[in-house]
With several copies, the nearest count.
Chain A
Amino acid sequence: TRDGADDAQTVRIGVADAASPYWKTYADLAKERLDVNVTLVNFNDYSQPNPALKEKQLELNQFQHIQYLANYNVTAGDDLQPIGATAVYPLPLYSLKFTAVTDLPANAKVAIPNDAINQARGLLVLQAAGLVTLKNGGTAFSSTTDVETKKVDVVTLDASQTAGALQSGSVAAAIVNINYATNAKLPKTAVVFQDDPASASAAPYVNIFTARAEDKDNETYLKLAELYHDPAVEKGVQEANSGVAVLRTVPAAELQALLTTVQDQAVAAQK
Chain B
Amino acid sequence: MDEFLTNLPVFREAIWQTFYIVSISVVAGGLLGLGLGLVLYATRPGSLMSNRAVFITVNILVNIVRPIPFVIFLTAIQPLMLVTIGTTIGTNAVTFALTLAAAFAVSRIIEQNLLAVEPGVIEAARAAGARPISILLTVIVPEALGPVILGYTFIFVGVVDMSAQAGLFGGGGLGDFAVTYGSQRYNWPVVYITVAVIIVIVQAGQFLGNALARKALRR
Contact = CB atoms under 8 A, between A and B. Distances in A.
The answer to whether A and B touch in the complex, with CB atoms under 8 Å apart, is yes
Interface of A: 14, 18-19, 21, 41-48, 51-52, 55, 57-58, 71-72, 75-76, 111, 114-116, 119, 143-145, 155-158, 160-161, 163-165, 168-171, 180, 183-185, 270
Q: Which 7 A-B pairs have the closest CB atoms?
A: A75-B186, A44-B167, A45-B168, A158-B168, A183-B185, A41-B170, A168-B88
B169 interface: yes
A261 to B, nearest CB: 20
B162 to A, nearest CB: 13
Contacts of B90: 41, 57, 155, 170
Contacts of A270: 3
Contact of B169 (A45, A71, A115): A45
A165 B186 contact: no
A145 B6 contact: yes
Main SS at interface, chain B: helix
Interface string B16-54: 000000000000000000000000000000000000000
Given A111-B89, A184-B186, A19 B180 contact: yes
Contacts of B10: 144-145
Interface in B40-90: 71, 75, 78, 82, 87-90
B172 A42 contact: yes
A48 B7 contact: no
B206 interface: no
B189 to A, nearest CB: 12
B9 A145 contact: yes
Contact of B71 (A45, A75, A143): A45
Interface string B132-171: 0000000000000000000000000000000001011110
A229 to B, nearest CB: 24
Contacts of A111: 89, 170
Contacts of A119: 180
Given A19-B185, A165-B170, A170 B88 contact: yes
Which residue among B75, B168, B186 has the maximum number of chain A CB atoms within 10 Å of its CB? Answer: B186
B186 A185 contact: yes
Of the candidates A48, A71, A144, A156, the one having the most CB atoms from chain B within 10 angstroms of its own CB is A48
B179 interface: yes
B12 to A, nearest CB: 12
Nearest to A54: B88
Given A21-B6, A145-B6, A145-B7, A114 B88 contact: no
Contacts of B170: 14, 41-43, 48, 52, 111, 114, 155-157, 161, 165
Contacts of B165: 44
Interface string B84-115: 00011110010000000000000000000000
Contact of A114 (B9, B71, B176): B176
A155 to B, nearest CB: 5
